[in-house]
Amino acid sequence: MFVKHFDTVKECIEHLRKNLYTIAVTSSHDKGKNVDLYEEEFTQKRLAVWFGNEARGVSGEAIDAADICIRIPMGGIVESLNLGTSTGIVLSFISYQRLKFVFTYKKARIKSRGLGKLITRSWKDFINPHR
């Protein structure tokens, strides 16, 4: 996982666009870009996921710049989760999906010799796309 600090939302968005990241925010408010977490594919090589806090959520500027807005499906009238819970749910599912992608779609290239090297290399490409 790569972490970088930015002083402004605009600076961060410019960096992500320049480096060809798919920008995903967690928000249930932008109906045009909304996707359900469990119905979307998150296997892009470069993916930046933004989370907002309980009080303010993700900024409007970040939502406008986002390629997709991830909605965590919930029953009842609750529309928000605390930051730790939503982060855990989203990153757990994305990690699971990306691991499944590596083992399923790249399996055809795996031969009995060199199995570990190919899997390790493929997984490292996902967790460190700056290589």
Q: How many CA atoms lie within 13 A of 50 on its CB side?
A: 27
Task: Give the strand pairing for 68-71 and 22-26.
Answer: parallel
Helices (H), 3-111: 9-18, 60-65, 83-105
- SS3 state at 50: strand
The correct answer on CATH 3.40.50.2300 for the domain covering 9-93 is: no
* Distance in angstroms between the alpha carbons of the first and the last residue of the chain: 12
What pTM, to 2 d.p., does this model score? 0.74
Residue 24 phi/psi, 5-degree rounding, is -120, 135
Return the number of other C-beta atoms located less than 10 Å from residue 70's C-beta: 25
pLDDT truncated to tens, each residue of the chain (131 aa)? 677 889 999 999 999 999 999 999 998 766 667 889 999 999 888 999 999 888 888 899 999 999 999 998 887 776 778 889 999 999 999 999 988 887 776 665 655 555 555 555 555 565 555 65
- For residues 63 and 25, the answer to whether their CB atoms sit within 8 Å is yes
